[in-house]
Structure 1
Amino acid sequence: MGFKVAVVGATGNVGREMLNILEERGFPVGEVVALASRRSQGTEVSFGDRTLKVKALETYDFSDTDIALMSAGGNVSKEWSPKIGKQGCVVIDNSSAFRYDPEVPLIVPEVNPDAIEGFSKKNIIANPNCSTAQMLVALKPLHDAATIRRVVVSTYQSVSGAGKEGMDELFTQTRAVFVADPVEAKKFTKRIAFNVIPHIDVFMEDGTTKEEWKMVAETKKMLDPKIKVTATCVRVPVFIGHSEAVNLEFEKPITADEARDILREAPGCLVIDKHEDGGYITPIESAGEDATYISRIREDSTIDNGLNLWIVSDNLRKGAALNTVQIAELLVARGLIQPKQKAA
């Protein structure tokens, strides 16, 4: 007896990754349906060794579907997630549309699994921002051990965070540089090839960007409202994998060795931290992997109880598709949903 799962936005980077991960992890599906907008209707996507024809979201009936994995952008989610939820289908939404709604759980299974119990108010569960998700996987066990007071994070975010258009722009601009063609910036505000851009999402009144604000708000909602967080989010010319330089101030003493031991035992974490050439992780090694990697763990002598970390993860997986599927697995493991269609 399996669950009927719809992947909304199945033709996008994250939607395709969701289909891959459902199959890879052996999620108990009875049927998988690929959905997208009308213009993508009939497009074919892969699910294991099967090919699925994409159906139109606008005409799909969710009444016999158990779970909708939503990766179609905030505007689509705002319109459709409440309608889908009312049909008795649980929406796990990858956009920012419902992350800050107090009636919608915001979940990273390694961080705050118990918060999932509140999903039934709207039948919607939110997936956090990719940069927040990987950071909190590493911070949660350290917070449990020594209580984090303050977080200062600088991100180095890959272009895949901006979707297929972002990846295409980096490729096209890089080729243009090599053949001395004009370099056009369309998706990003400035040239991304051989450059870095300290601007992700829109600017807010106080000078922060929305991406930076998300990291602050989501950390407080999922980990601890008392934590102080300041972020600088930067787009870099990397195809897949977000990196973060994180400075932490704790209430209680904690050494680098203690942190290393804690993180080695923590779910979802993989410590690669040798004090030698190449003894650390970079984005290219994280691509296609599920773990949140932690390197460069060291004490910060400029503050009491301070640590520095380097955190890297595949943003399409743990930052998006993998975390979404893990939330679905958590629903099933806790017996919070049952398949609507009984086995024949």
Structure 2
Amino acid sequence: MKVAVVGATGLVGSEMLTVLAARNFPVTELIPVASERSKGKEVEFKGKKYKVVTPDEAIALKPNVALFSAGGGTSTEYAPKFAAAGITVIDNSSAWRMDPTKKLVVPEVNGDVLSAEDKIIANPNCSTIQMVVVLKPLHEQYTIKRVVVSTYQSVTGTGVKAVKQLQDERAGVEGEKAYPYPIDLNVIPQIDVFQDNGYTKEEMKMIKETNKIMGDDSIRVTATTVRIPVVGGHSESINIEFENDFDLNEVRTLLAKQQGVIVIDNPANLEYPMPKDAHGKDEVFVGRIRRDESQPKALNIWVVADNLRKGAATNTIQIAEKLIEKGLL
């Protein structure tokens, strides 16, 4: 299968190449794609070097699927051009997520919605993905009324520039800044720009995307998203209020059975998920599972995942795998 990776030289694009190899995705020909300024650069995949081409050149090479992670502007301009050429696009930017004509997919949650008509498929926001994977079995069993989520998000979610800022600050070196404030030894309670309602764009993404992916607008969601000086992955403190009461042991069993979830929940031995444990892994990790004692039928959980893997590259490739499984690719 001919696979184009658009944004192949970026953080997520590089991770896509790693995940494609690790999951033995059936790549017969790789087409790494980036901007004009990166044309001719080489990327390595499974021990072989490939030259980077421009998006227009990639369309002419007619890949079967194009995995996009090059930002909203590139996706808005080029995804329709790839789709018009008969190429299936799976896009990691925010460009198409809330378009009512496009599917927003997390395979373990709503992979069944994919059809032959879907030529541009949206990959959700990283912080939304790890949350809905965990919410899915709980909603099916107990019916979720309301979710309150606070995130602790890795600098890798911002990109290479942010990682460099953290490293520079830690080393006491002056350098280019991704954030308006220091990130080392600090937390920044702003991810993306502020909206008129006082929430950030990232917080509104979590709210709206959750409803769309879960296929249920009755679930009320509120979010506070925070950047922290970590590189391994995103963490989330999630409070869930249900229509129906639950048993904690059953909750643990439901989560352990959910595809793509690993439960680490043994407080007696100080065992709980941390970003350093999720780093480089495709699963979503859950722990600190306990009742909210201030509210009936409410649960507190702690959820961690590598935002470059399950939060971006892995989920994109799992969508492609789902398309193959359904005979659509």
Give CA-to-partner distance per residue, 1:6-31, whole Å, 9 cap, x none.
Answer: 00000001101111111111111221
- AA of the residue aligned to 1:148: I
Matches of 2:145 and 2:4, distance apart in 1: 40
Deviation at 1:304, TM superposition (A): 1.4
Matches of 1:104 and 1:301, distance apart in 2: 40
Matches of 1:61 and 1:306, distance apart in 2: 50
Give CA-to-partner distance per residue, 1:207-253, whole Å, 9 cap, x none.
Answer: 00000000000000011211000000000000120000000000011
Partner residue of 1:125 out of 105, 118, 121? 121
Deviation at 1:185, TM superposition (A): 6.9
Partner residue of 2:228 out of 236, 248, 262? 236
Hey, what does 1:14 align to over in structure 2? 12
Kindly indicate whether the alpha-carbon contact (under 8 Å) linking 2:265 and 2:271 is maintained by their aligned counterparts in 1: yes
Matches of 1:237 and 1:62, distance apart in 2: 42
Q: Percent identity?
A: 50
Partner SS for 1:60? helix
Note closer, same or farther for the CA distance 1:63–1:131 as it changes in structure 2 (3 Å cut): same
Deviation at 1:59, TM superposition (A): 3.2
Matches of 1:185 and 1:229, distance apart in 2: 35
1:218 has 2:215 as partner: no
List, as ranges, runs of 4+ consecutive aligned residues in structure 1 with deviation greater than 4 Å.
none
1:289 has 2:281 as partner: yes
Hey, what does 1:340 align to over in structure 2? none
Matches of 2:176 and 2:228, distance apart in 1: 14
- AA of the residue aligned to 2:234: H
Q: CA RMSD in A?
A: 1.3
Matches of 1:61 and 1:299, distance apart in 2: 52
Matches within 5 A, 1:248-263: 248-263=240-255
Partner SS for 2:109? coil
Q: Does 56-65 or 295-304 show the bigger shift? A: 56-65
Partner residue of 1:174 out of 170, 173, 180? 170
Deviation at 1:86, TM superposition (A): 0.5
1:197 has 2:193 as partner: no
- AA of the residue aligned to 1:16: S
Deviation at 1:63, TM superposition (A): 6.1
Q: Does 96-105 or 256-265 show the bigger shift? A: 256-265
Hey, what does 1:36 align to over in structure 2? 34
Aligned residues: 328
TM-score between both structures, scaled by the size of structure 2: 0.97
Q: Does 154-163 or 22-31 show the bigger shift? A: 22-31
- AA of the residue aligned to 2:89: V
Partner residue of 1:114 out of 112, 115, 121? 112
Deviation at 1:189, TM superposition (A): 2.1
Matches of 1:324 and 1:42, distance apart in 2: 25
Kindly indicate whether the alpha-carbon contact (under 8 Å) linking 1:250 and 1:305 is maintained by their aligned counterparts in 2: yes
Partner SS for 1:29? coil
Matches of 2:36 and 2:274, distance apart in 1: 39
Matches of 1:185 and 1:197, distance apart in 2: 17
Note closer, same or farther for the CA distance 1:101–1:255 as it changes in structure 2 (3 Å cut): same
Deviation at 1:307, TM superposition (A): 0.3
Deviation at 1:78, TM superposition (A): 0.4
Hey, what does 2:154 align to over in structure 1? 158
1:187 has 2:174 as partner: no
Give CA-to-partner distance per residue, 1:120-157, whole Å, 9 cap, x none.
Answer: 25x10000000000001111011111011000000000
Deviation at 1:62, TM superposition (A): 4.4
Unaligned runs of 5+ in 2: none
Partner SS for 1:246? strand
